Amino acid sequence: MPDKSELLLGCAPITERPGMERAMRVAINRVRHSKKATTFGHQQAFDKALAKLVRNIPVDEQLAEWFGKESLVPVVRRGWKKIVRNPVVIAIAIAALVIGVVTAYRVYEKLNDFPGADKARRLLSVAASNRSVLLDPLQTDAGALTDLFFMKHHLEHYDVPAEFAQFKTLGSRVFDDDEVRRVAQIWVKEKRMQFFLFPAEPDKQGKINDFSDWRFVEWEGWTGAVTQRNGVCFMAVIRGGEKDLRAYLEKKKA
Amino acid sequence: MAVTTKNLPQLYRFCFLMTGDAAKAQTAFQDTVRDAATRTDADEPPPDRLWFFRQARDRCIAVTEEGIQAEPGMLEEAEISPDAAAQIATLTPEQLAVWISAAPEPQRSALALFYLDEFTLPELLSLLDMKAGELSDLICSGRRQFQSWLDSTTAYYGGEAHHAG
């Protein structure tokens, strides 16, 4: 019974073109260096002679005209509907849409950013990775810590805004961050919120412009509401969305 | 790969090998190309190169169905001669087409497609819907049968080939 390479050699290509199957290439190379090389050579000469005869098949003049008529040959005409239904086009469109939305969101975010927004986001990552045991236990009103920060750490204007001053604290700490510099952190009982107080960032002209409204930053499911007074930023952080924080800000307004 | 006007002569040659008759080949060829043009007008998926040859094969089989059908294993076989190329050189394409068209299916299709020297092995197997072993058997037996026919039809003496008759 002939083996696989013999079977392949039986239908070996008449003209060896690039891209030939590996098994066929191997079988041909092997037989050319074996005792069967002569027999295979005869087979190839036989096949080439027949293929040459096939190429010489005359084509009727009347029929030859058909070969020049491009209109008889179906041309791939793709309507826009077909193009739109193509899975590749759909995938590219979805990818472009996602990139567009992300880019638009980033641009919108940057336009609404305030100096120090990057610092605030960095502190959101600190909030996400922190545990309460890192802080010094302290149970008092958050507003009362202003004096502590000033007296103990010489941090001036590290004031907790009135909206959050009544919240009961669990602990606090003051630490130095490479980018944000002196940061005061407070944990409160209310929804395990955290407060951060840190130096404000000057704008491009080098000026520090306070803002009394609340501006929001987000980072991986954490949201911070930031306000800036006397060159110090206060940020209330909660795990959740903007609406969770707005509830506290609007309660105070009312 | 798309079909272009460059492939059409090969399609006609295939029809000619399958039918062994210029008129029948022309009919099968024209019907296939017309069918392809109709499909495109009807907004159906554009036919590819293999589609043309599949369609043409079906048409050629249909157009020759009415004649006498060859039966497998009826012909004598001979080992391929070292002089086979020279013997073949004395033949005309029409003689070859008549011989191939007289072969039983699917050997006829296998020989016609193989000697077009147009397709890769996977394409041949796809067109003929068979395995490599089957194709190899058909081609090998076809070679030996053709050699036997060559030997009975032509004789080769010292570099010159002469028709036996």
Q: Do B3 and A73 touch (CB under 8 A)?
A: yes
Q: Please, what sign has the CA dihedral across residues A235, A236, A238, A243? A: negative
May I ask the CATH architecture of the domain B84-163? Orthogonal Bundle (1.10)
Q: Please, what sign has the CA dihedral across residues B63, B66, B71, B74? A: negative
Tell me which of B55, B87, B92, B114 to substitute to probe the interface with A (most A C-beta atoms closer than 10 Å).
Answer: B114
What is the ipTM metric for this complex?
0.85
Distance of CA A33 to the CA centre of its chain: 56
Per cent of chain A over pLDDT 70 is: 91
Confidence of residue B14 (pLDDT cuts 50, 70, 90): very high
Cβ–Cβ under 8 Å, residues B70 and B103: yes
The predicted structure's pLDDT at residue A161: 92
What is the rounded average pLDDT of the residues B85-102?
90
Rounded Cα distance, A183 and A177, in Å: 7
The predicted structure's pLDDT at residue A105: 86
Confidence of residue B5 (pLDDT cuts 50, 70, 90): low
The predicted structure's pLDDT at residue B105: 87
The predicted structure's pLDDT at residue A67: 66
Output the CA–CA distances (angstroms, integers) from residue B61 to A58, A65, A188, B88, in the order listed. 21, 25, 88, 26
Rounded Cα distance, A64 and A72, in Å: 13
* pLDDT tens digits, one per residue of A55-111: 988 887 777 776 666 555 555 556 777 778 888 889 999 999 999 999 998 888 777
Structure-model confidence comparison of residues B33 and B1, the more confident one: B33
Phi-psi region of B158 (alpha: psi -120 to 50; beta: other; left: phi over 0): left
Mean pLDDT computed over every residue of chain B = 82
Domain boundaries, chain B: 8-64, 84-163
**B contacts of A73 (beta carbons < 8 Å):** 3-5, 8, 33, 36-37
Per-residue pLDDT at B125 exceeds 50: yes
Rounded Cα distance, B6 and B8, in Å: 6
Residue A199 belongs to what H/E stretch?
strand A194-199
Whether cis (ω within 30° of 0) applies to the bond prior to B106 is yes
Torsion angles phi and psi, residue A239, rounded to 5 = -85, 110
At residue B158, the 3 state secondary structure works out as coil
Structure-model confidence comparison of residues A54 and A252, the more confident one: A54
Angle B109-B113-B118 (CA atoms, 0-180°, nearest 5)? Answer: 170
Contacts 24+ apart (CB under 8 A), B129-132: B130/B106, B132/A7, B132/A8, B132/A11
B56 touches chain A (CB under 8 A): no
* pLDDT tens digits, one per residue of A174-194: 999 888 889 999 999 988 899
Helix axes B49-64, B22-41, angle to 10 degrees: 130
**A contacts of B139 (beta carbons < 8 Å):** 10-11
Instruction: Report DSSP state, residue A166.
Output: T
Per-residue pLDDT at B158 exceeds 50: no
B44 touches chain A (CB under 8 A): no
**B contacts of A10 (beta carbons < 8 Å):** 135-137, 139-140
Tell me which of A1, A26, A52, A66 to substitute to probe the interface with B (most B C-beta atoms closer than 10 Å).
Answer: A66
The predicted structure's pLDDT at residue A75: 53
A14 touches chain B (CB under 8 A): yes
**A contacts of B93 (beta carbons < 8 Å):** 53-54, 56-58
The predicted structure's pLDDT at residue A6: 81
At residue A75, the 3 state secondary structure works out as coil
Confidence of residue B49 (pLDDT cuts 50, 70, 90): confident
* pLDDT tens digits, one per residue of B145-155: 999 888 888 76
Mean pLDDT computed over every residue of chain A = 86
Per cent of chain A over pLDDT 90 is: 40
